[in-house]
Chain A
Amino acid sequence: MTSVSVDADPAGRSPRAGRRVPLSWIGVVPFLAYVGLFLLLPTALVVIQAFGTPEGQPTLANVRALGESYVLTAFWRSIQLSFATAAIGAVLGAVLAYIVVQGPADGIVRRTVTAAAGVLAQFGGVTLAMAFMVSVGNQGVVTLLLRDVGVNASGGWLYELSGLMVVYLYFQVPLMVLVFLPALDGVKPQWREATESLGGSGWAYWRHVAFPLLTPPFLGAFLLLFANAFAAYATAAALISQGGIIIPLQIRAAMTSETVLGQENVAKALALGMVVVVAVAMALYSWMQRRSSKWLQ
């Protein structure tokens, strides 16, 4: 902003106008309406109904259900699963992104990897679950091939928490590549040259320049991955239908159970618990974003 005007009024008002109402907010109305309708309103409903009976009477019973041992176990499993897949996904994704950045910006490698990552980051749900089932399930192609050469690899692991971790990584790593590439692009080669011309070694560059700069976006991306895994539902639902091992599956059970009725508002309470966990994650994420954006201007 360097436009200089002679009689610029510091408050930005035209000297002739009285006190006109600025109309600049009109442009943001559609966005606010959209966010309000599809984000704030449902969230508000979840919060309100979590503290009510189906008839609308206030109650704490739903929230109390969060203290049940099987709910706590599921929360713990959800957090473990999300944390592990976010950590592994972030490291693998960052390494892959780093390799891609070494090449030319419009090179074939980069174009291929970003296109593939764009598709695979969204490749979840039943399709992904079935893909794993038919390759490494009990009767999967790979399992049977191994059996033919005498290796007895049971496919049972796929239907446990360990299996979910492997399957989730399939969309976590590509997502990391997508969100981490811009951060790596922000690292200018001149910084490395500057380090070297001042007599710094490669180690010194990484230790004092690249790591400090990349840590905030890396942690931010990590948190995004955490939230992504935490809310994933369809993939797990197609793989493990028993026992509601993670929270999204318990919410499904409470919403649609044919046998245990009247649990809809317990589902809202479970969702509220998820909102709290993700809100903490997202608050950290935006704080990290602010930290990192200062560095990379």
Chain B
Amino acid sequence: MRGVGASVAVGAIVALAACAPPSDDDSSSTGADGVSASSATSAEEFGGMDALVEAAKKEGELNVIALPDDWANYGELKSAFTAKYGVKINSAKPDAASQDEINAVKTEKGRSSAPDVLDMGGAVTLANTALYAPYKVATWEDIPDSQKEQTGLWVNDYGGYMSIGYDSSKFNGVSALKDLLGSDFKNSVALNGDPTQAGAAFAGVAMASLGNGGSADDISKGVDFFTELKKAGNFVPVQASPATIKTGETPVVFDWDYLNAAQTSENKNWKVVVPEGVVLGSYYNQAISKDAPHPAAARLWQEFLFSDEGQNLWLKGGARPVRMEAMTTAGTIDADLAAKLPEVSGEAVFLTTDQTATATKFLTENWAKAIG
């Protein structure tokens, strides 16, 4: 009778699989002229900001993913948004990577728990443009053309420079990469992840390359630097995190300046330095999911992030918001916060897509060997 039992079991599997909660399909809010929120490409098109706020309030919720509270001040951004508009934020998987966000959009598709909005690194953003809804925020004109997709599928949101964070109570100061090869840095230097996986670690190696005679086209010098670091016994292969910084297990960490700046809450002696002439910058990107279960709230969140208030909140977290230049000109930037950013001297380098692809290929083939 095994045949019957098995077919019943298969039937049960199908039945169980069909039990996934469907999205509460309230035909999404419509604004003026019957434009639905999910197809609105600007607040104006939807009937103005007030209509958008109204529709978002009616939805009542916003699903965000991969936004840790201590990352670029997202904790305050989330609570400020809720306080201002009365929309509850469901924050999933704060420590997830960019690719996890895309995976969630695909696997949760059609359910009420799917992510509404995304904040991703460059490579992942460009690889998945079919999943985003085009949207232009009210402050669209302030954003430089090179930092947005022309129809508004994705927009640079905030960025920073690769930096070295270190515990100033243990070391006499760090000013150049070469300092880290010294014997007092035994078992001290860590990356934020593996460069073949994490954008921040990838940028750490790219920056090391710039400071070690390489260039944006040649990341091999960066790998050489870390090989040397490992030979000297100074490299710690542990995943740097607020916990390892607190315990002193990773007293020197390569990371974005805004992330390193946030570590002073774990360790008051934490100092952030961007070595002179070794300035590698990168921006994250904001996008709205095409299948957002809360399309109005998603668009309102986008408006909020790119408003003066949202941009200054990012600045408060040590990140450089994309409208910084325009806001500085307009005098709307918070000058005290801007003055607190780490000193940067030298030409900032931003890797192009091709340079990133070349470097990625090199790392895939050589990183594990160099460091394993």
Residues of A near any B CB (own CB < 8 A)? 21-22, 24-25, 28-30, 32-33, 36-37, 41, 70, 73, 130, 133-134, 137-139, 154-156, 159, 237-245, 252-253, 255-262
Contact = CB atoms under 8 A, between A and B. Distances in A.
25 contacts: A22-B1, A32-B8, A37-B16, A70-B369, A133-B249, A134-B249, A138-B187, A139-B249, A154-B186, A154-B187, A159-B238, A241-B191, A243-B237, A256-B96, A256-B99, A257-B97, A257-B197, A257-B198, A258-B97, A258-B98, A258-B202, A259-B198, A259-B199, A259-B360, A260-B360
Given A159-B238, A237-B239, A138 B249 contact: yes
Interface string B124-138: 100100000000000
Given A29-B8, A139-B247, A261-B99, A241 B238 contact: yes
B127 A262 contact: yes
A240 B96 CA distance: 18
Nearest to B187: A138
B4 A25 contact: yes
B197 A243 contact: no
Contacts of B356: 259
Interface in B1-32: 1-2, 4-6, 8-10, 12-13, 16-17
A29 to B, nearest CB: 5
Contacts of B360: 259-260
Residue among A130, A256, A259, A262 with the most chain B CB within 10 A? A259
Contacts of A21: 1, 4
A261 B239 contact: no
Contact of A240 (B9, B97, B120, B237): B237
A241 B193 contact: yes
A33 B99 contact: no
B197 A253 contact: yes
B372 A257 contact: no
Contacts of B120: 258
A36 B8 CA distance: 11
B95 to A, nearest CB: 11
B353 to A, nearest CB: 12
Interface in B295-338: none
B371 A139 contact: no
A24 B4 CA distance: 11
Contact of A133 (B5, B103, B186, B247): B247
B222 interface: no
Interface of B: 1-2, 4-6, 8-10, 12-13, 16-17, 96-100, 103, 120-121, 123-124, 127, 186-188, 191, 193-199, 202, 233, 236-240, 243-244, 247-249, 251, 356, 360, 363-364, 367-369, 371-372
A183 B233 CA distance: 46
A260 B196 contact: yes
A67 B223 CA distance: 24
Contacts of A33: 9, 12-13, 16
A242 B237 contact: yes
Contacts of B196: 244, 253, 257, 259-260
Contacts of B16: 33, 37
B309 to A, nearest CB: 29
Given A33-B12, A138-B187, A138-B249, A257 B99 contact: yes
A73 B367 CA distance: 14
Given A32-B6, A256-B99, A257-B99, 7 more contacts: A156-B236, A238-B239, A243-B237, A243-B371, A243-B372, A256-B100, A258-B99
A218 B308 CA distance: 67
B197 to A, nearest CB: 4
B194 A261 contact: no
B243 A130 contact: yes
B1 A25 contact: yes
Contacts of B99: 255-258, 261
Given A33-B13, A257-B196, A243 B247 contact: no
Contact of B244 (A28, A133, A253): A133
B364 A260 contact: yes
A159 B236 contact: yes
A259 to B, nearest CB: 5
Contacts of B194: 241-244, 253
A36 B9 contact: yes
A183 B5 CA distance: 34
Contacts of A133: 238, 244, 247, 249
Contacts of B17: 37
A245 B5 contact: no
Contacts of B363: 259
Contacts of A259: 121, 123, 195-199, 202, 356, 360, 363
B372 A73 contact: yes
A258 B239 contact: no
